[in-house]
Every structure is written in C-alpha cells, then in structure tokens.
C-alpha cells in the first residue's frame, strides 16, 4: 500500500502548475492511499501552504455547497421519503479541466469531480435530514443542475392492489386519454394523462392523486365490464402504478368510497405481477328473446353449456372458455336471466347473439336473443400452483 510520503512529490508538482482546492487535490490520491476524506488528505498534502487562489478544476465549488443543499431541501419539501440519491449535471469545462490534470500527471482510477460533488452533497443532506443514502433503490432522486442552479426531484413509483365495486350503471371502466398527449402527461392534463374523470379509472385516479400525489396512475385490470354493468360482491381486482408520488405511506381503510366507486382491500405492494393472472367470473346476464321462451329450450341451453365455449376471432385465432356452472330463470314471456360461472375474459354479448361463439345462446334456443345487460356478481382469482 503506498504511503502518503510517496505522493507528496506528485502533489507538489501539480500544485506548482495548477492550484487545486483541498477536495480536488485529495481526490487525486485518496483511492490510492485508501483514505476516505478527500478534504483532509488535500489539506495534509499542501503542508499548510494554503493560498487564496481559485481551484483550477472546480473554481472553489466545494467551498460553499450550502446553496445547493438548500436547493435540495426546498425541492423535496413536499415528498415523504426515507432514502435518496443525488445526481448532478456540471459544467463541461470543469470535467475538461479534471481530465487535463488526470492525463497530464497520469493519474488513474480516481473518482470524477462529479462523483465527489454528489458524495459531498449526499453527506451534507443525510446529516441535515437523517435520511438514508441509497444508491441502488432510493425513494427519491435529486438531479442538481449546477449550470442552471436548479434541482429536480423524482420519486420512485409505488404499486397498489385492490378491488373495486361499481354500484351504479352508466360509466365505463377505462378513461379516454388526454387528447393532447395520448396519456403521456402534458401541461394540458396537469401531467396526469387524463383530462376527464368520469370512469372507474378516472374516479380511482382522482382519489389516488389526492391521497398520494403523483402524476400518472397506470392500471392493470383483472378483466373488464360494460359501461352499463355493475360489479358487485367483493369487486374486481386491479393493480395500479403511481408515478412520482409525493407520499409513500398512506393508511387506507379496509373499505372506502372513491367518489362513486367502492374500493376494498387496497394496499401498497412491492411490484405488479408480470404474467397475466387467471380468474373466473360469476356473471348474471339478462336476455330477451323475440318469440315466447320454451322451457325445453332453456334446459337444452344448460346442457350445451357443459361443453367448452369456442370463440373465433377475426384474426383467425380460436380460443376456448369453460363454463363451470350455469343456471337460468325465466322472468317473463320473452325474458330470462342466465347466470354463468365462467373463465375470465368471456365475450358476453357475442355469446348471447351467437356471433362466432359456439355454442351461442341464440343458435341453441333457436331465436334472436338480445343481451339487455350483464352484471358481475363475483370475480375470483384462479391460483394454479
């Protein structure tokens, strides 16, 4: 291991040509000597020969970091977090001068001036706020721009899962994206990607933005329903990712109303499942016929539904869905209710009119059937392990 005495001559040589501050001088040798404080090493290497001259590399940036610390403190004041990391944009001229010194004196394996700067600021910030420096998985990331004198904060996304119940008809599951930015977030939509909030997605987003802050909420739905459908029982599962949240720890009640949606068991999770999840739905379908309904036709339908339902897509793809259970109830001369417990992603309306779905309701009972409405009574996840 080299000794401090070994580097004195080089340090002296450098200082003769280019005056450096304690931090910049110390940084050139601290790794080689396995020392942690650049500042103290720099001071030692100068052997008390301090000048009032400006540092050739950093122009004495390290002498007064408090304006930058204040910038960091101000820019994160609205965020709740426990760990952070600091990134920086510095003037290219500083980096150039740092490179000149390195190559001129053939110094290798030393930290860059930027690394040292962000490390110094991290130390100051951690000391001041008692927050943890976390390089790998920080809650928030500062980007200090030394050229502009600005500081940007981004927080790590959070994930939630929950279930929603829809007790009123007439609004869709998904919200149309902001027309200006197609959902990416812009000034027009206040960076939310949405301009209207009259759907399940919209109402939930609004609630989440109020609670957590954040810009965009991206949903993963476990199945979907019609605008006129209700979602009852314990509700439909969903996952959501909130980008740039202000708060990361919010206690939510077990059941709460998010505007006209009822949300159940909503909680923060570590990540959203990558693979599509299998589920089944108990669906109540209200069907009208043209001709009076014959009881034997409904019996025949129930029998037929014991076979897998084959669905043909325009693309030529063919898929099968299994109905686990079905029951029917005639409610008037030409109306009946069919309740099916079926694999998730089942095309209800096409099944009723018999549009490329075999067996369909219309063909089976020999009539032109219409789907008046359909509601979800229960949605269950299927765990295959």
The contact set with Zn ion (CB under 5 A) reads 21, 24, 55, 57-58, 178, 180-181, 186, 188-189
Catalytically annotated residue among 111, 134, 145, 226: 226
Cβ 85 to Zn ion, closest distance in Å? 23
- Helix (H) / strand (E) containing 145: strand 140-145
DSSP string computed for 87-116: EEE--HHHHHHHHHHHHHTT--S---HHHH
Which residue, 40 or 181, is less far from Zn ion as judged by CB? 181
- Rounded least distance, CB 117 to Zn ion, Å: 10
Instruction: Please state, in angstroms and as integers, the Cα–Cα distance from residue 233 to each residue in 262, 263, 280, 371, following that order.
Output: 11, 11, 13, 22
Query: Which one, 181 or 358, has the nearer CB to Zn ion?
Result: 181
Contact call for residues 200 and 166 (beta carbons, < 8 A):
yes
Distance CA 23, CA 30 (A): 10
- Alpha carbons 42 and 96: distance in angstroms, whole number: 21
CB of 259 vs Zn ion, minimal distance in Å: 21
Q: Which is nearer to Zn ion, 18 or 211 (CB)?
A: 18
Catalytic residue status for 226: yes
SS3 letters for 196-248? CCCCHHHHHHHHHHHHHCCCCEEEEECCCCCCCCCEEEEEEEEEEEECCCCCC
Question: Toward Zn ion, which CB reaches closer, 180 or 337?
Answer: 180
Residue 381, helix vs strand vs coil: strand
Q: Which is nearer to Zn ion, 56 or 84 (CB)?
A: 56
Residue 193: CB minimum distance to Zn ion, A: 6
Residue 57 or 379: the one with the smaller Cβ distance to Zn ion is 57
Residue 237 beta carbon to Zn ion: minimum distance, rounded to whole angstroms = 28
Nearer to Zn ion, 21 or 311 (CB): 21
Neighbours of 306 (CB within 10 A): 11
Q: Tokens at residue 166, please?
A: 């829809």
Dihedral sign (CA 321, 322, 323, 324): negative
What minimum distance in Å lies between the beta carbon of 64 and Zn ion?
Answer: 12
Q: Give the span between the Cα atoms of 365 and 67, in whole angstroms.
A: 79
Compute the residue count for the chain: 385
Burial of 89 (0-12, 13-18, 19+ CB in 10 A): middle
Phi, psi of 65 (to 5 degrees): -95, -5
Q: Which residues, listed in sequence order, are joined to residue 83 by a DSSP beta bridge?
A: 132
Closest distance to Zn ion from the beta carbon of 26 (Å)? 10
Q: Which residues are catalytic?
A: 226
């Amino acid at each position: 291991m080299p000794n401090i005495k070994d580097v004195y001559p080089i340090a002296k040589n450098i200082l003769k040509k280019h005056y450096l501050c304690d931090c910049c001088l110390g940084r050139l040798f601290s790794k080689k000597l396995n020392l942690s404080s650049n500042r103290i090493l720099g001071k030692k290497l100068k052997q008390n020969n301090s000048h009032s001259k400006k540092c050739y590399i950093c122009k004495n940036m390290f002498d007064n970091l408090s304006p930058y610390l204040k910038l960091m403190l101000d820019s994160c004041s609205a965020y709740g977090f426990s760990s952070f990391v600091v990134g920086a944009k510095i003037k290219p001229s500083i980096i150039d001068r740092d490179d000149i010194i390195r190559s001129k004196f053939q110094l290798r394996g030393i930290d860059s001036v930027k690394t040292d700067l962000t490390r110094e600021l991290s130390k100051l910030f951690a000391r001041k706020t008692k927050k943890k420096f976390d390089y790998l998985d920080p809650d928030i990331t500062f980007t200090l721009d030394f050229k502009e004198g600005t500081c940007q904060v981004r927080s790590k996304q959070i994930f939630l899962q929950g279930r929603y119940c829809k007790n009123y008809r007439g609004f869709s599951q998904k919200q149309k994206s902001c027309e200006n930015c197609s959902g990416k977030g812009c000034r027009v939509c206040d960076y939310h990607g949405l301009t209207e909030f009259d759907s399940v997605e919209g109402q939930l987003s609004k609630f989440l933005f109020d609670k957590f802050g954040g810009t965009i909420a991206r949903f993963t739905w476990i199945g979907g329903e019609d605008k006129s459908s209700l979602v009852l029982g314990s509700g439909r599962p969903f996952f959501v990712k909130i980008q740039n949240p202000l708060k990361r720890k919010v206690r939510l009640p077990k059941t709460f109303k998010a505007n006209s949606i009822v949300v159940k068991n909503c909680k923060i999770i570590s990540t959203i499942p990558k693979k599509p999840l299998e589920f089944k739905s108990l669906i109540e379908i209200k069907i009208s016929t043209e001709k009076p309904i014959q009881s034997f036709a409904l019996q025949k339908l129930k029998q037929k539904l014991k076979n897998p339902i084959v669905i043909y897509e325009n693309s030529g793809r063919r898929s099968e869905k299994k109905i686990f259970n079905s029951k029917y109830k005639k409610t008037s001369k030409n109306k009946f209710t069919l309740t099916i417990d079926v694999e998730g992603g089942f095309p209800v309306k096409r099944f009723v009119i018999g549009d490329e779905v075999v067996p369909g309701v219309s063909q089976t009972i020999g009539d032109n059937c219409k789907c008046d409405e359909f509601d979800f009574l229960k949605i269950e996840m299927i765990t295959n392990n």
